[in-house]
Amino acid sequence: MAFGPPIPGQTPIDDISGLRDRGIRTQGALNAAEAENIRKAVLKYLAAKPTRRAAPFDLAWTRRLHAEMFGEVWAWAGAFRRRELNIGSAPEHIETDMQGLLDDLGAWAGHDMPRIEQAVRLHHRAVQIHPFLNGNGRWSRMLGNIWLKLHGSALVEWPETTIGGESPVRAEYIAALRCADQGDHGPLVALHARFVGQAPA
């Protein structure tokens, strides 16, 4: 296999036992397969405003969303991890931490917090918890965008290819996440605002 070392801030792929297609032998092929799987989820949730039934923002749905994004590529997609990583909640706390995030999201929605800041905080906390073996960043960005779409707000049009590889934008993104870890969401809000698209009609 020709899977290279992870770039800064990326979870290493050190176990390919869950890879569904053993014909995938390079990082490029893996990236292409994941991108096609994710494209289907984007069409489902972001091509039109989703219903609350389709995107209920409950614990089971957050897992299902990850499975919809990565399940054609990884057998473990949608399953909360059971081992420690170099980032994220301890495995035994993941479910509680995710439920706490969803409870907070409901509280934020009931107050006058700007919708974009709600999406930023959702995105950041989901990355921070890091509930899955891989794909957490892309899943967290999708969570934020589905939340925006659900409420008729403009989507953040992330340059996923740039963020997914070594680049100045990725370095800025990782730095913004680390600021948010310290309680300063300003840089991450600014980054979201930079890539926000046009509000839907």
Express each pLDDT in 83-128 by its tens digit. Answer: 999 899 999 999 999 999 999 999 999 888 999 999 999 999 999 9
Would you say the C-alpha torsion 169, 174, 177, 182 has a positive or negative sign?
negative
Please give the domain boundaries of the chain with CATH numbers for all domains. Answer: 27-194 (1.10.3290.10)
- Element housing 193 (H / E): helix 186-194
Mean pLDDT, the chain, as a whole number? 90
Distance CA 90, CA 81 (A): 9
pTM value is 0.90
